[in-house]
Amino acid sequence: MPINQLHHLTSGQLFRQKDDIKPSSPNQQGTFSCVRSTESISTMSFTGKYELQSQENFEPFMRAIGLPEDQIQKGKDLKSVTEIVQDGKKFTVTVTTGTKVMKNQFTIGEESEIELMTGEKVKVVVQMEGNNKLVAEVKGMKSVTELNGDTITHTMTAGNITLKRVSKRV
Q: What pLDDT score was predicted for residue 117? A: 84
Strands 127-129 and 141-148: unpaired
Of 166, 163, 143, the residue nearest 57 (C-alpha) = 163
Q: What pLDDT score was predicted for residue 74? A: 86
Q: What pLDDT score was predicted for residue 43? A: 58
Burial 57-85 (b: 16+ CB within 10 A, else e): bbeebbebbebeeeeeeebeeeebebebe
Mean pLDDT lowest among 16-30, 86-100, 113-127: 16-30
Q: What is the mean pLDDT of residues 56-79?
A: 90
22-43: pLDDT as tens digits: 444 455 455 444 444 343 344 5
Task: Answer whether residue 5 shows pLDDT above 60.
Answer: no
Q: What is the mean pLDDT of residues 46-70?
A: 94
CA dist., res. 125 & res. 75, Å (int): 27
Q: What is the mean pLDDT of residues 78-101?
A: 93
CA dist., res. 151 & res. 167, Å (int): 6
The answer to whether 122 and 143 have CB atoms below 8 angstroms apart is: no
Q: What pLDDT score was predicted for residue 79? A: 87
Domains of the chain and any CATH numbers = 11-41 (no CATH), 48-169 (2.40.128.20)
For 93, 116, 132, the CA distances from 45, given in Å and listed in that order, are 13, 23, 8
CA dist., res. 47 & res. 92, Å (int): 9
131-146: pLDDT as tens digits: 899 999 998 899 999 9
Mean pLDDT rounded to a whole number for the chain? 81
The answer to whether 33 and 19 have CB atoms below 8 angstroms apart is: no
90 or 100, higher pLDDT:
90
Helix (H) or strand (E) holding 70: helix 69-75
pTM beyond 0.75, yes or no: no
Strands 48-56 and 133-138: unpaired
For 19, 24, 32, 33, the CA distances from 28, given in Å and listed in that order, are 20, 7, 8, 11
